[in-house]
Structure 1
Amino acid sequence: MKHFPLFRWFILAVLGDWLVTRTLGRLAIFVPKSPPLLFAYKVLTLGGQFASVFAVVLTYLAWIWLIGKRWKETSRWITLIAALLLGVSLTSLFIAPTPYSLPGFNLLTLLLVGWLGYQIALHIRRPSDWGMLMPAFALSVSTLYLLAQTSRYLFFETESQKAVTFLYHLGEMLVVLSPLAILVSLYHRLPTVSRKLNLWTFLPSATFAALYWFNPSMTGILAIWSIGISLFLPWPLYCLGLWAWVSVLVAARYPYPSLSAALILLAAAGFAPQLSSQTFWGIMALFLLQETLEGWSASQASITALSEQSPALDYSRG
C-alpha cells in the first residue's frame, strides 16, 4: 500500500477530509461569526470540500491499485470481493442503492475484513503483537453493526434493536482500546518510544477534556460527526485513547510510516462509516497494519537467521 504512487497525497487528502471537513468545519458551526470569521469559515469549507473530493478520487485509484498489484497475487476470491465492493460503490454514484445492496455491501466488507484480520494474525510473532489485531476486531464489529442496522427491517423484527445497540457499544469500546493496544505493541518493538513522547502528545487529550468539561453536549455532537462515537464511556477513557493515538502517530512516523498512515486512515474512517470511501479507508488501514507486521516478522527472521549462522563461542579452551 505504501508503494502506491500517490500514497502521500492520498493520506494528506484523507486527513484534510477528516480534520477540515468533518471536524474543524463542523466545530465552526457553533462559533459566532463576524464578517472576517465568516470569510475564514467559507475558505475553510471550500478547502475541506476540495480535500474531500480529492480524497474520494484517490481512494478509488488506490483501491484499483490494490486490486491489480497486491490482492491479485494473494487470492482470486479476495480480488473478486474487492472488485465487487468497488463496483457497488461506483454504481451507487449514479443509481440509488436498493434495500438489499447495503446488506450485501456490508457482508462483502465483513468477509474482506475477516481475511485481513487473519493475515494480520499470521504475522504475529510476539504476545504483545496481538494488540495490532484490535483494529480488525473493531472494524468487524462496526461492519456487523451496519449489517444488522441495514438488514433488521428486511429480515428481522424491530425488537432486535437491543442487539444492534450492544454491537454499537462494543464497537465503540474497541475503537477506544485500539490505540492503547497498538501503543503496547509498539513499545515492545521500539523501547525508545517513551523518549519521543512529550508535552505535545498530551495537547489533543487536554483540548478534548476542556471541551467536554465546558460543553459536553457540543463535544458529543462533534464526536459523532467526526469519528462516529457517542461518548457513552467515562470521558477519561477517551482522553487516554486519544493520547495513545497521538503517541503512536508521533513515535512511528519515521521508523514505521505504514503504522502512522494506518492510524490516520482508521481515525478518518471512524466507527460505523456512512460512506463507501470511508469503509475503504478502514480496510486499507488493516492492509497497512499487515504490511507493518510483515516488516516486523522479516526483521525477526533476519535476526534469528544471523544468530543461527554465528558460531557458538567455545569457552573450554584458553
Structure 2
Amino acid sequence: MSTPKIAVVGLPGKWSTEALADALEARTGFRAILDPAHLRVELDGRVIHSDRHDLCKLDGIVIKKVGPQYSPLMLDRLELLQFAEVCGVPVFSRPERIARLVDRLSGTLTLRRGQIPMPPTVITEQVDEAIDVVNQFGSVILKPLYSTKAKGMVVLEAGKLNKKQLMSRLAAYKSQHGILYLQKKLELPGQDMGLVFLGGEYQGAYARVKGEQWHTSTSGGGKYAEAHPTDETIEIARRAQALFGLDFTTVDMAETADGPVCFEVSAFGGFRGALEGLGLNMAEKYADYVLARIDAKRAKNGN
C-alpha cells in the first residue's frame, strides 16, 4: 500500500495543530494543515476543498480545531466537514460527535441524561429567576454557551451584591449571551483534573493547579501537574466521554467533599496538559491511533 495522506484540520501556527501535523508527517512523510476558515463545499459536485487540497482525495482527516474561539460558526464548519465523510474519508473525531460538545448546553444536557454527577446547574432566560438561583446557591459561575478556558465566565456572590446590582449584572450578561447558564461554584481542593482518553481508553490524568484567579485555567495562571484520580473518578469520566464517542478527548473532573463531579467533556481534547503534567505525548499517540485505523480500513478495502 502507498503511504496514506492524512491531513489535520486546525489553526496554522498554533502549537497543538502543529504538534499533531508533525507527528503525522514523521510517520507518513505527508503534511497538510487545513484552515477551517478556507473550507469550500460544492454542493452540486459533492466535493470539499481547503486551499489547494481536495479533501475527498485524502486517506484521513484529524480535526484538532475548527476556530480560534467557540461560537456557532464552529457548528457550521463541522457541518461542512461532514462532506468529507460523504466521500468515504474517515474523520477523527466524527464532526457530528464533536458538534454536540461545542455548545455547552448540548453537552450539559447529554451528561445529565447520562446521570453523570455535575455541579448544580440552572439554565434560564429570566433575570428574576436567575437572581433567585444566585441567592439559593450563594455563589454561582455564569458560563457562556460557547467558550473554553474560562473565557467569558463570571462569578456572582449573593452576599456581595444587592438585588439591584445582581439584576444589572445579569441583565447585561443576558443581553450579550441570551441564555443564562448558572452553575453553583463549588469548593475545590485548589485544582481540577483533565482525564485523557484515546479511543475510549483511559491514558492518564493531569491537574490544573489554581493560580491567582478563581479558576484553574492556565490562562489565569494555573499550572499543570501530575494527578492521581480515584477509581471512582476515572469510572465517571469514562462513562462521561462514552456518551459522545470521540476518538480523543479530555474530561474535566474535580474531587470534592461530596464526591467526584464532571464539569465537561472537551470537544477537541488538549495535548499540552498531558505533556507538561504527565510527560505524555498525546499528539504522537493520537497519530499512531489514527494511522492504525486507516491502515486497517485500506487493507480491508484492498488499497
TM-score interval (norm. to shorter)? under 0.3
**Bigger RCO (CA 8 Å, 6+ sep):** 1
TM-score (norm 2): 0.26
TM-score (norm 1): 0.25
Which one has a larger percent helix, Structure 1 or Structure 2? Answer: 1
Work out which of the two has the higher radius of gyration on C-alpha atoms and give 1 or 2. 1
